[in-house]
Copies of this chain bind each other. A is one copy, B any other.
């Protein structure tokens, strides 16, 4: 008999999430049946999308959604031998029984010197998001100038580095001095703390007086409107996240974007990485190669202990993390 701990959303978020939204529960898991495996979480992920998707896809009482890297500790399914690792979307749980559906085995040749937690970050969903945003949505070309906000986050920090690999000028903004120092370390060409620059408009203009070819937007809201005005003719905007609006009770407003977009013939497109699922295997290999070659530096903000998941999630929404927020068991 294994005891599973899991976090339940007891009350839908209304504004900024707080402790009263979550409840830790425990259950005894039955013995596994033929075809099943028993998973034990090793690393869990908290991501901004959970704030949005909870409202859309969950009802109160559901286990919090999310991905984890888990170890197969019992198996009656030959596809997932004991001791192997998988990425699973089974939510905020320490132990899970699975029939194997939707389990993604971690690359067979995952190098010993690369943390498995990266399967939730650089070589996982955030990495895929960065690549598809850059390649499929922006069509970023060598020599172009790219702007990315929330640039020290899980996705933003990869976006900037991948744009550098592609031979671009990269401008990044973030909200603390430590984050800005991280952007410098990553090789961003220009970086600034949007909370202390005074005028975001001026900071963007100084960073690239000739404007921006591409804008990878993780933040949304009014600050995106400021960036829109500084796009070049035929500028492209990839809408990846809108973290500045996720906790809104009353939706934020901004200047109507249409006229600017017409006169500059700007394209703006929202996307989710799952659209290119057929490319995931090759994209993950590419990301692994960049990591091994030292072209992609990775940083994680690790919270220890399953019991601290809500705190880690709330911290993420406040911007506590530099790099990928991970919970280590």
Bound CA span A263–B270, Å: 7
Q: Number of A residues whose C-beta is below 8 Å from B?
A: 37
Tell whether, in the assembled complex, residue B263 and residue A52 are in contact, meaning their CB atoms are under 8 Å apart: yes
Tell whether, in the assembled complex, residue B271 and residue A262 are in contact, meaning their CB atoms are under 8 Å apart: yes
- A221-256: CB near B (< 8 Å → 1, else 0) gives 110110000000000000111100110000111111
Total copies of this chain within the assembly:
2
Query: Given A253-B253, A254-B253 in contact, is the A220-B265 Cβ separation under 8 Å?
Result: no
Which residues of B sit under 8 angstroms from A275, Cβ to Cβ?
265
Tell whether, in the assembled complex, residue A222 and residue B256 are in contact, meaning their CB atoms are under 8 Å apart: yes
Of the candidates B56, B252, B264, B267, the one whose C-beta lies within 8 Å of that of A268 is B267
List residues of A (68-125) whose CB comes within 8 Å of B's CBs: none
* A217 interface hit (Cβ, 8 Å): yes
* A317 interface hit (Cβ, 8 Å): no
Which residues of B sit under 8 angstroms from A224, Cβ to Cβ?
256, 258
Tell whether, in the assembled complex, residue B262 and residue A242 are in contact, meaning their CB atoms are under 8 Å apart: yes
* A186 interface hit (Cβ, 8 Å): no
Main secondary structure on A side of the interface with B: mixed
With both beta carbons as reference points, the residue of chain B lying nearest to A271 in the complex is identified as B265
Tell whether, in the assembled complex, residue A255 and residue B258 are in contact, meaning their CB atoms are under 8 Å apart: no
Tell whether, in the assembled complex, residue A257 and residue B257 are in contact, meaning their CB atoms are under 8 Å apart: yes
* A266 interface hit (Cβ, 8 Å): yes
Shortest beta-carbon distance from A221 to chain B in Å = 5
Bound CA span A220–B258, Å: 6
Tell whether, in the assembled complex, residue B52 and residue A256 are in contact, meaning their CB atoms are under 8 Å apart: no
Bound CA span A207–B28, Å: 52
Which residues of B sit under 8 angstroms from A256, Cβ to Cβ?
220-222, 224-225, 242, 245, 251-254
Which residues of B sit under 8 angstroms from A260, Cβ to Cβ?
270
Closest 3 A/B residue pairs (Cβ) = A261-B270, A220-B258, A262-B270
Please list 12 pairs of residues, one from A and one from B, whose beta carbons are closer than 8 Å in the complex, sorted by A's number. Answer: A52-B263, A221-B258, A239-B261, A241-B262, A245-B259, A246-B259, A252-B255, A253-B256, A262-B271, A263-B272, A265-B272, A266-B270
User: A245-B256, A265-B272, A268-B269 known; 16 other A-B pairs, CB under 8 Å?
Assistant: A221-B258, A222-B256, A224-B256, A225-B256, A239-B261, A242-B262, A246-B259, A251-B255, A253-B254, A257-B257, A258-B270, A261-B270, A263-B272, A265-B270, A265-B271, A266-B270
